[in-house]
């Protein structure tokens, strides 16, 4: 019996290690951003629809409302699909939706907003993608929930209506 | 102006433009290339940004080059990237509490194997 256990032990150790490494590899996914729980990164960028002053991190810390920051681009097809959900999100009480327009042209971005509607309170124009790197953005669209200056949650990819109902709205209720 | 002279002037202007974007000296360029090799591409995960020509890799190269010019050390640049993207962004996992097992388990398994083999030899001998 002991001989049998000894005989199979290397194989079982390897299988166990395989399982452990598999879970460890998947534990650090992209949505586990190191920024969650931290203060928002400082930034200052042009506004897309208003040339007068800059859209800055201070805009996101000045209100008690729950801030959503959506990183989008007019050339991003999933962003178009997500736009209706963002319109719904922007109508929720105590929610302010901001946009960061990622590596776009002003003309195309403005056309996008004029055609599909503007759910954003303010839009920053991040033409060189630098602010997106500050936010640890991998690609568009991505959405961050910010409350009292801290990043609470990060969503990678377009928000589907089911995700709005099952994940995002419960977070809003919790924060309220 | 002859057309060859005209082309020559355009080439000079173009190279001046490029060097003003990445105004790195030889040492800085070497540091930048090493950092590019250590930084994972955001959209092509198996590759580092040195090997990638993707738009996001180019943005990251530009950022790293600018941080070098601004006087940041290699560690400061890596810390910045890790603070934004996690340990994932560095091609070689760092040695810390969560990766001790990853780094040291092969040595432990090797030692266990040696013990097994030695015991087997002793028995047979």
Q: Which residues contact A158 (CB under 8 A, 6 or more apart)?
A: A78, A79, A81, A82, A85, A141
A114 touches A74 (CB < 8 A):
no
Q: What is the mean pLDDT of residues A110-139?
A: 96
**Is the same domain home to B12 and B42?**
yes
**Is the same domain home to B70 and B11?**
yes
Q: What is the mean pLDDT of residues A32-37?
A: 89
Identify which of B55, B84, B102 has the shortest CB distance to residue A35. Answer: B84
Please give the domain boundaries of chain A with CATH numbers for all domains: 36-175 (3.40.30.10)
**Is the same domain home to B76 and B103?**
no
**Is the same domain home to B75 and B121?**
no
**Is the same domain home to B122 and B75?**
no
CA dist B114 → B65, B108, B109, B119 (Å): 47, 10, 9, 8
**Is the same domain home to B17 and B55?**
yes
Tell me the pTM: 0.79
What pLDDT does residue B84 have?
95
What pLDDT does residue B15 have?
57
**Is the same domain home to B83 and B30?**
yes
Structure confidence by residue, pLDDT tens digits, A129-153: 999 999 999 999 999 999 999 999 9
**Is the same domain home to B117 and B89?**
no
B51 in reach of chain A (CB within 8 A): no
* Summary mean pLDDT of chain A: 91
Q: Is the pLDDT of residue A114 over 80?
A: yes
**DSSP string across B30-43:** HHHHHHHHHBBPSS
**Is the same domain home to B89 and B99?**
no
**Is the same domain home to B18 and B35?**
yes
**Is the same domain home to B61 and B101?**
no
How many domains, in total, are found in chain B? 2
Mutate to test the interface with B, among A38, A132, A138 (most CBs of B within 10 A): A138
B103 in reach of chain A (CB within 8 A): no
Scored b (16 or more CB within 10 A) or e, B5-43 reads eeeeeeeeeeeeeeeeeeebeeeeeebbeebbebbbbbe
User: Is B86–A32 a contact, with Cβ atoms under 8 angstroms apart?
Assistant: yes
Kindly report the backbone phi and psi dihedral angles of residue A135, in degrees, each rounded to the nearest multiple of 5, phi listed first: -90, 5
CATH code assigned at B77: 1.10.8.640
How many percent of chain B have pLDDT more than 70?
85
ipTM (interface pTM): 0.83
Chain A residues whose C-beta is within 8 A of a chain B C-beta are: 10, 13, 17, 20-21, 24, 28, 30, 32-35, 41, 103, 128-130, 133-136, 138-139
**Is the same domain home to B49 and B88?**
yes
Structure confidence by residue, pLDDT tens digits, B54-74: 999 999 999 999 999 999 999
B90 in reach of chain A (CB within 8 A): no
Q: Residue B13 is part of which domain span?
A: 3-94
What pLDDT does residue A13 have?
82
Query: Which of A94-103, B25-34, B67-76, B106-115 shows the lowest mean pLDDT across its residues?
Result: B106-115
């Amino acid at each position: 019996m002991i001989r049998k256990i000894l005989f199979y032990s290397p194989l079982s150790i390897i299988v166990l290690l395989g399982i452990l490494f598999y879970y460890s590899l998947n534990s650090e996914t992209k949505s586990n951003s190191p920024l969650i729980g931290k203060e928002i990164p400082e930034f200052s960028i042009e506004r897309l629809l208003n040339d007068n002053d800059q859209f800055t991190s201070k805009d996101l810390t000045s209100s008690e409302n729950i801030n959503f920051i959506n990183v989008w681009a007019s050339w991003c097809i999933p962003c178009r699909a997500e736009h209706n959900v963002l319109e719904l999100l922007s109508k929720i009480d105590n929610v302010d939706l901001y946009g960061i327009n990622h590596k776009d042209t002003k003309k195309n971005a403005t056309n996008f907003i004029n055609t599909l509607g503007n759910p954003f309170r303010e839009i920053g124009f991040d033409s060189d993608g630098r602010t997106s790197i500050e936010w640890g953005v991998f690609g568009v669209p991505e959405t961050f929930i910010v409350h009292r200056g801290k990043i609470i949650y990060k969503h990678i990819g377009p928000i589907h209506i089911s995700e709005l109902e099952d994940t995002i709205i419960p977070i809003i209720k919790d924060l309220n | 102006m002859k057309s060859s002279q005209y082309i020559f002037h355009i080439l000079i202007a173009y190279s001046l433009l490029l060097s003003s974007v990445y105004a790195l000296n030889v040492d800085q360029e070497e540091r930048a290339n090493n950092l590019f090799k250590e930084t994972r591409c955001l959209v092509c995960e198996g590759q580092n940004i040195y090997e990638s020509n993707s738009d996001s890799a180019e943005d990251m190269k530009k950022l790293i080059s600018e941080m070098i010019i601004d006087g940041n050390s290699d560690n400061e640049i890596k810390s910045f990237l890790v603070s934004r993207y996690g340990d994932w962004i560095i091609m070689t996992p760092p040695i810390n509490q969560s990766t001790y097992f990853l780094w040291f388990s092969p040595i432990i398994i090797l030692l266990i194997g040696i013990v097994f083999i030695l015991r087997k030899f002793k028995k047979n001998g």
